[in-house]
Amino acid sequence: MSEHDEVVLAAQGITKRFGGVKALDEAHLEVRAGQVTAVMGENGAGKSTLMKVLAGVYQDYEGRILRNGREAVFANPRQAQEHGVTIIHQELNLIPNLSVAENLFLGREFLDGLGLIDFRRMRREAAALLQRLDLDVDPRTRISTLRVGQQQILEIARALALHARVIIMDEPTSAISEREVDVLFGLIDSLRREGVAIVYISHKMDEVFRIADRITIMRDGRTVGSAPRAALSHDGVVRMMVGRDLKDFFVQTPTARGSEVLRVQEICLPHPDRVGDFLVKDISFSVARGEVLGLFGLMGAGRSELFETIFGLHARTASGQVFLEGREVRLSSCAEAIAAGLALVPEDRKRQGLMMDMSVAASISLASLAQVERFGFLSDRRERALAGDFGQRLRIRAVSHRQPVKHLSGGNQQKVVLAKWLATRPRVLLLDEPTRGIDVNAKNQIYRLIHELATAGLAIVVVSSELPEIIALAHRIIVLSEGRQTAEFSRAQATEESILKAALPRSLSSSRPPSSSGAATR
């Protein structure tokens, strides 16, 4: 075992180009045994690229990697693993239909005398690992039945099964609940005591300050600073990341409240698999012209499902009423919801928002093609005009309107999705995590835009899992927990603590709520 605090992995002067673009420009990083080294930076700062260089994913870089003081060249991720360096990607790499044990030892199965898989030994070893990580799961369980947080911990178990001494975690908490974060942090802590070096990439300031021993900040592919946590402040880190003051990132929103536009009553959505269980249960709220209503909830609170239900996506199974300007509407498809003046900017723009190969213009016009038609045929000129108009309003940075959206940055992609929905001229805008995974600048622009749209008379509902964001944006905040509404706050009453308290699930067995509770009401 390496000495604590010794540099076990170092990157020196790493430059990596993608075509003509320098993603990394002489970046450096030191990782010490028994320490958590956090790497922070805006999206596009080069964090992930640097990690991929360290983990052997990229080989065509300039500069040196030192492992325990000696230069190392990893030809592929497997070689990096053999050197004890393992990366846990943001998107988990477990195979859903295989068991926990099979996943843990994938590619390195234990064989018996006949060359067949020795399942008994695999289960035994898996059980030992799971116990070490305090994860109460049978090694025979299929991955697909586990929660994301549990899967995250399994990824760590897999790294340990590889005898990893350096574990790189890329945004490990982006998809897990607050409680699972605690479990993860407890685990990181014990790994640290065992002398494992952790590289921790995250955008979340609070987490980083809670867990990190050292913080390294990157900007534009360069390492701009690195210091022990105690020597840094939140504001200092943010300033290094963006070179700007934090004050810029807060927007003022008006408190004017017009007439009611959208009202939903007793929206229920049964769980697709568990009979008598609900993803969304008896949610009622209303939004007025010019109002921004915030919906806060942890993962699995039913926020996205609530939006989808209102938007007509679960018409066959859901129940409840939707009123637009006082009149009840029955929305049995997304097309009807759009026609009624609703717009939904979904949570996951890659999966639900965009066709990656489509051009910017085609993506923007997709939900409102009737507008760009002339004599029944699509008019290039009208489509260009529409795209140009919204491109300018939202400050979308693209080479041309014909550029495929996959070449845009996350922030610009998100703006394209927003433009698509604004082009439908909605009365109500449902925004699901509108700033997820985009850089601080783009975030700020989107905050301003939300503010402008509300001022212009739109009714807006924003789902966010970032407390400061929702407090800065919303006039009123409704908190969801396990599909139910647990609290409502006005802007003045809302504090981060009070909101979070209402959002935390009550029962400890949150994955298995009592099955009889909802059955009678159906």
Partner 1 sequence: MTLVILTGGIDLSVGSILALSGAIMAGLLKRGTELEALNLYIGYGAPAAIVVGLLVGASLGWFNGLMVTRFRVPPFIATLAMLTIARGLTKLYTGGEAITGLGQVFVSIGSGRLLGIPNQFWIAAGIVLVAVVLLRKTRFGRYVYAVGGNEEAATLSGLNVARVKRSVYVIAGTLAAVGGLIVTSRLNSATPIAGEGMELDSIAAVVIGGTSLSGGRGSVAGTVLGALIIGVLNSGLVIMGVDPFWQQVIKGCVILVAVVIDRLNYKE
x-or-dash string of contact with partner 1, 157-186, rule CB under 8 A: ------------------------------
Among 190, 259, 333, 517, binds partner 1 (CB under 8 A): 333
- Any contact of residue 344 with partner 1 (CB under 8 A)? yes
Residue 117 or residue 356: which is nearer to partner 1 going by CB? 356
Give 304's contacts (C-beta < 8 A, 6+ positions apart). Answer: 346, 347, 432, 463
Q: CA of 100: how far to CAs of 96, 125, 152, in Å?
A: 9, 11, 12
Question: Judged by CB under 8 A, which stretch of 30-38, 152-160, 321-329, 343-351 contacts partner 1?
Answer: 343-351
Q: Residue 378, interface with partner 1 (CB under 8 A)? A: yes
Torsion angle in degrees (nearest 10) through CA of 285, 291, 296, 299:
90
Per CB under 8 A, the list member of 420, 443, 451, 476 interacting with partner 1 is: 420
Nearest to 31 by CA among 233, 232, 192: 192
DSSP string, 358-389: SBHHHHHHGGGGGGGEETTEE-HHHHHHHHHH
| 335 touches partner 1 by CB under 8 A | yes
Answer yes or no whether residue 59 interacts with partner 1 by CB under 8 A: no
Nearest CB to partner 1, comparing residues 304 and 435 = 304
* 355 binding partner 1? (CB under 8 A): yes
What whole-number distance in Å separates Cα of residue 441 and Cα of residue 238? 12
Determine if 128 is a binding residue for partner 1 (CB under 8 A): no
Only one residue has tokens 């607050």, namely 178
**Residues 498, 501, 503, 506, CA torsion sign:** negative
Question: Does 256 interact with partner 1 (rule: CB under 8 A)?
Answer: no
Question: What values do phi and psi take at 16, rounded to 5?
Answer: -135, 130
Q: How many residues bind partner 1 (CB under 8 A)?
A: 30
Least gap, CB of 338 to partner 1 (angstroms): 4
Distances (CA, A) of 245 to 38, 215, 234, 237, 438: 21, 19, 11, 10, 18
Write phi, then psi, for 314 (nearest 5 degrees): -115, 40
Of the residues 84, 300, 302, 346, which one makes contact with partner 1 according to CB under 8 A = 346
- Of the candidate spans 136-144, 242-250, 277-285, 330-338, the one that interacts with partner 1 by CB under 8 A turns out to be 330-338
Residue 238: closest CA among 418, 64, 439: 439
Q: Which stretch binds partner 1 (CB under 8 A): 73-81, 106-114, 251-259, 360-368?
A: 360-368
Sole window of 58-66, 222-230, 353-361, 483-491 interacting with partner 1 (rule: CB under 8 A): 353-361
Tokens in use for 494?
A: 């809302």
| Residue 401 interacts with partner 1 (CB under 8 A): yes or no | no
Report the interface residues with partner 1, using CB under 8 A.
19, 311, 313, 333-335, 337-339, 344, 346, 351-358, 362, 365-367, 369-370, 373, 376-378, 420
